[in-house]
């Protein structure tokens, strides 16, 4: 297959609202975890006594590209401090994890898979020439231990075996040695085949299992894409087959799946774990790169522009463990919680609500998405996602100025000292496409760019439409943005210490207590779109960049028994109990409390 290659943070720099979003992340939790969170600050990975498994590798996986995208000297110094500590403790046989030799057989090597994947990210950003050998020795040691039977895949490593292929592909491109392909085959043989799990995805059991765990599944979607070449297999688009089943039985309006923590059916008031959002984004980035199929980029946009910002506070100092499509409150619930295997605080905004994996892992979402804006192969560059960015590549500079996805106008300024082919991926929803003021067909645009300066203006429109959801509900979408009824809320702050972890402003826990009604239904199909300036917080609930005014009526929706802060899956009645009123809907990603999937009154 003719695979698109990713650029690195050396070639791509964010601009416009995207740079602001990354700056907010750096000023928030992601950029400060190493100062405030014991599992990063005092981790065994850097000589401390706290968690020595997935949390430091998870955090670095996002913190590293964030630091280099922003060219922040202090952050880059922190990156190097952590990488130096990790590299310095690599043992003579190549083992790199903070685990005693006697404990290797019981150490879940998911952490090894993850740290080597993260080291590839660091190498791409830094060019640190130590890193290929560090990964080589770690993976060769993994091969020896697995082949000899001294260790085997179990637990998370067994269900995430394909994650190793990020570093194996990195190695094979450099060394082309037979043991790398042998290790690939061992991993597949010992790893879990998710095709065997499909029957368990159709009826949620709400029992915790690895093969229905939402984060495992989100990672798995890229498994064939990243592994088939090294394994010598033909690519079959197995991800589409599995995604279709997942969507049919567990899908959400934002192109993700319910999972709190396991697959949870089609109730829009069930949760979706934040880790699964960023991992599904990463899967879709690779699926587009490997296949060039625009469906993966379309789905990536919906996830990134809706699900990711919605589950983070505007200042990105707090996050949820799970978000809900219809989320009318974020308040501690009674036990048992309204989730499959999560506790009653999982949907609060905080430092580590429910469990700390998302605290470390969520920060890969925006930086890796930013790096996916442009890709290349041979003499062709593609703008795969229309993000405001500047690309610099061997005498070629492409500057994209845009407020997409909030407005559908793009201006490309290109300076080049050579000829090249430039492709602009046009989203599938685009209508009335114009290129430099002239009408064009809606499809990918290809330009033969000549040496010198080139200016390209792209504009298209998007029509609001109802996206049909299960149980007679619909969600309003325009372009890649979902729109929700925003619910105003009061924030109740809670500062405390638990298990030696302090929560204090601004990284304490918050309950969001609703102050306005949620029980609405669509009462018409005519909409008025209004565009606003992008403010200091691009995904602001108070100042959203775009809104849609819709006619709506209140209905008797009701609450899910026995909870006082969770709405029913479907309304008790769709008989209107109010006059028609104009409601200003706003992007899902701007709405921390919201109703998104609602009935359309009068619809047959």
Tens digits of residue pLDDT in 337-356: 999 999 999 999 999 999 99
Predicted TM-score (pTM) of this structure: 0.98
Side-chain-side CA neighbours of 485 within 13 Å: the count stands at 27
Per-residue pLDDT at 604 exceeds 70: no
Q: How far apart are CA 597 and CA 107, in angstroms?
A: 43
For 167, phi and psi rounded to 5 degrees?
A: -80, -30
Mean pLDDT, the chain, as a whole number?
97
Residue 142 to residues 131, 133, 154, Cα–Cα distance (Å): 16, 14, 14
Partners of 510 in beta bridges: 349, 493
Q: Residues with Cβ < 8 Å from 253, sequence gap 6 or more?
A: 268, 325, 467, 469, 475, 477, 482, 588, 596, 597
186-196 average pLDDT score: 98
Query: Are the C-beta atoms of 451 and 417 separated by less than 8 Å?
Result: yes
Q: Does domain 375-461 have CATH number 3.40.50?
A: no
Work out the average pLDDT over 409-433. 97
State the average pLDDT over residues 125-129. 98
Segment holding 50, helix H or strand E: none
Kindly tell me if the per-residue pLDDT of 603 is higher than 90: no
> In the structure, what pLDDT confidence band is assigned to residue 1 with cuts at 50, 70 and 90?
low
Strand pairing report for 380-383 and 420-424: parallel
- Nearest residue to 596 (alpha-carbon basis) of 307, 358, 249: 307
In 385-451, the DSSP E strands lie at 389-393, 396-402, 409-416, 420-424, 431-435, 438-439, 445-449
Which residues, at least 6 apart from 73, have a Cβ–Cβ distance to it below 8 Å? Answer: none
How far apart CA 549 and CA 552 sit, in angstroms, is 9
Both tokens of 209, joined, read: 């299992």
pLDDT digits (tens, 9 = 90+) for 86-113: 999 999 999 999 999 999 999 999 999 9
Q: For a pLDDT cut of 90, what percent of the chain falls above it?
A: 98
Would you list the DSSP string of 270-322?
SEEEHHHHHHHHHHHHHHHHHH--HHHHHHHHHIIIIIHHHTB-TTSS-B-SE
Q: pLDDT per residue over 450-505, tens digit each?
A: 999 999 999 999 999 999 999 999 999 999 999 999 999 999 999 999 999 999 99
**pLDDT band for position 296 (cuts 50, 70, 90):** very high
The whole-angstrom separation of Cα 338 and Cα 349 is 17
Q: Sorting pLDDT into bands at 50, 70 and 90, what band is 322?
A: very high
pLDDT of residue 442: 83
Determine the Cα–Cα distance for residues 487 and 471; give it in Å rounded to an integer: 23
- Whole-number pLDDT of residue 443: 85
What tokens were used for 391? 């690309």
**540's tokens:** 């602001």
pLDDT at residue 402 is higher than 80? yes
| CA–CA distance, 142 with 114 (Å, rounded to integer) | 13
Distance CA 15, CA 9 (A): 13
> pLDDT of 524-583, one tens digit each?
999 999 999 999 999 999 999 999 999 999 999 999 999 999 999 999 999 999 999 999
Neighbouring C-alpha atoms within 13 Å toward the C-beta of 144: 10
207-246 pLDDT per residue, tens: 999 999 999 999 999 999 999 999 999 999 999 999 999 9
> Which residue bears the tokens 């697959």?
263
pLDDT one-digit tens code per residue, 370-398: 999 999 999 999 999 999 999 999 999 99
DSSP for 350-401, written as a single string: BSSSS-THHHHHGGGHHHHHHHTSEEEETTEEEE-S--SEEEEETTEEEEEE
The ranges assigned to domains in the chain are 37-191, 375-461, 467-595
């Amino acid at each position: 297959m003719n695979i698109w290659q990713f650029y690195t943070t050396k070639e791509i720099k964010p601009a416009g609202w995207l740079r602001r979003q990354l700056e907010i992340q750096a000023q928030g939790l992601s950029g400060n975890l190493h100062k405030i969170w014991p599992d990063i600050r005092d981790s065994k990975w850097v000589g401390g006594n706290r968690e020595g498994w997935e949390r430091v590798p998870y955090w670095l996986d996002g913190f590293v590209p964030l630091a280099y995208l922003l060219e922040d000297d202090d952050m880059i110094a922190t990156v190097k401090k952590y990488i130096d500590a990790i590299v310095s403790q690599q043992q003579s046989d190549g083992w790199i994890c903070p685990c005693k030799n006697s404990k290797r057989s019981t150490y879940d090597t998911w952490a090894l898979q993850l740290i080597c994947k993260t080291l590839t990210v660091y190498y791409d950003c830094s060019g640190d020439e130590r890193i290929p050998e560090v990964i080589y020795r770690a993976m060769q040691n993994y091969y020896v231990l697995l082949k000899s039977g001294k260790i085997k895949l179990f637990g998370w490593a067994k269900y995430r075996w394909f994650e190793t292929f990020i570093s194996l592909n990195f190695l094979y491109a450099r060394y082309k040695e037979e043991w790398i392909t042998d290790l690939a085959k061992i991993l597949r043989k010992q790893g879990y085949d998710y095709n065997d799990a499909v029957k368990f995805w159709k009826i949620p059991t709400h029992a915790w299992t690895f093969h229905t765990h939402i984060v495992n599944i989100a990672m798995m979607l890229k498994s064939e894409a990243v592994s088939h070449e090294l394994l010598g297999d033909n690519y079959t688009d197995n991800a589409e087959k599995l995604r279709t089943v997942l969507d049919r039985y567990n899908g959400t309006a934002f192109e993700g799946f319910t999972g709190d923590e396991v697959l949870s059916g089609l109730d829009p008031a069930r949760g979706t774990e934040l880790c699964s959002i960023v991992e599904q984004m990463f899967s879709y980035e690779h699926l587009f790169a490997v296949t060039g199929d625009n469906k993966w980029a379309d789905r990536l946009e919906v996830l990134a522009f809706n699900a990711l910002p919605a589950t983070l506070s505007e200042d990105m100092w707090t996050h949820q463990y799970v978000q809900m499509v219809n989320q009318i409150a974020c308040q501690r619930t009674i036990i048992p919680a309204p989730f499959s295997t999560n506790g009653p605080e999982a949907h609060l905004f905080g430092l580590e609500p429910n469990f700390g994996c998302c605290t470390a892992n969520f920060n890969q979402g925006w930086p890796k998405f930013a790096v996916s804006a442009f890709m290349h192969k041979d003499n062709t560059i593609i703008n795969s996602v229309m993000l405001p960015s500047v690309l610099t590549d061997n005498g070629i500079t492409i500057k994209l100025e845009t407020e997409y996805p909030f407005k559908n106008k793009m201006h490309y300024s290109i300076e080049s000292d050579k000829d090249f082919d430039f492709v602009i991926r046009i989203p599938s929803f685009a209508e009335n496409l114009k290129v430099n003021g002239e009408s064009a067909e809606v499809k990918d645009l290809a330009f033969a760019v000549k040496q010198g300066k080139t200016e390209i203006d792209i504009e298209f429109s998007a029509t609001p439409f109802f996206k049909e959801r299960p149980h007679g509900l619909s969600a309003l979408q325009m372009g890649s943005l979902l729109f929700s009824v925003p619910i105003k809320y009061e924030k109740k702050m809670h500062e405390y210490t638990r298990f030696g972890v302090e929560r204090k402003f601004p990284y304490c826990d918050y309950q969001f207590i609703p102050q306005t009604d949620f029980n609405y239904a669509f009462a018409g199909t005519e909409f008025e779109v209004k565009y606003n300036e992008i403010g200091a917080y691009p995904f602001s609930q108070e100042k959203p960049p775009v809104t849609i005014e819709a006619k709506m009526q209140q209905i008797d929706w009701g609450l899910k028994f026995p909870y006082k802060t969770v709405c029913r899956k479907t309304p008790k009645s769709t008989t209107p109990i109010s006059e028609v009123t104009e409601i200003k809907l706003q992007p899902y990603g701007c709405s921390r409390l919201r109703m998104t999937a609602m009935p359309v009154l009068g619809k047959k």
